[in-house]
Each structure stands twice: as C-alpha cells, then as structure tokens.
Amino acid sequence: MLLRAYLAEFLASLVLMYVVLETGNSLAIGATFALVRIMSTPISGGHVNPLITVALASGEYFPLMEVVPYSAAQILGGILAVHIFRNFKL
C-alpha cells in the first residue's frame, strides 16, 4: 500500500512540475494542481509538495517516519519532470 502512495506522489509531482515548466500559464498550473490533488488524495493524501508533507508531520497530522520517503518521491518526480522538459519535446 505504501509503494502505491509513493508512486502517486511521484506521478503527481512529475505532472505538476512539467506543466509549470512547459506552460508557465497560471490557469493551466492551477487546473493541473487541482487535477493531481483530486487524483492522488484518495491514494496518498495528495501532498504533492515536500513542504506540505513536512508541515503536516510537524503538526502531527502525518507520520514522521513517512516524511523522507514521501519527500523523496516528490523531489524525484520534480527532477524527472525537469529532465523530460530539457531533453524531450512532448
């Protein structure tokens, strides 16, 4: 179950970051953020951002032991989005 949550955070971060890089359009970014939140919330809580994960853990709304794996998945999703943006034109 946890692997599924990490994958959801990874993919949500990847998609959101790619749209930010590709379009720069605030309407497209907002719509994408809403979409990835709707899709990932039932699976992983839909944090999408390491800062949100840390904030929830500091408020004791999220297990502290899950902060590093969630944040790693989110950061790796963002890194892959940058790699795709730089090296491929979709």
Domains of the chain with CATH codes? 2-87 (1.20.1080.10)
Rounded distance, CA 33 to CA 20, Å? 10
pLDDT band (50, 70, 90) for residue 89: confident
Q: Residue with structure tokens 């994408």?
A: 32
Q: What percent of the chain has pLDDT over 90?
A: 97
Within its chain, how far is the Cα of 82 from the centroid?
13
Q: Which amino acid is at 20?
A: V
Mean pLDDT for all residues in the chain:
96
Rounded distance, CA 42 to CA 15, Å? 17
Q: What does the pLDDT read at residue 60?
A: 93
pLDDT one-digit tens code per residue, 17-57: 999 999 999 999 999 999 999 999 999 999 999 999 999 99
What does the block give as tokens for 42?
């039932």
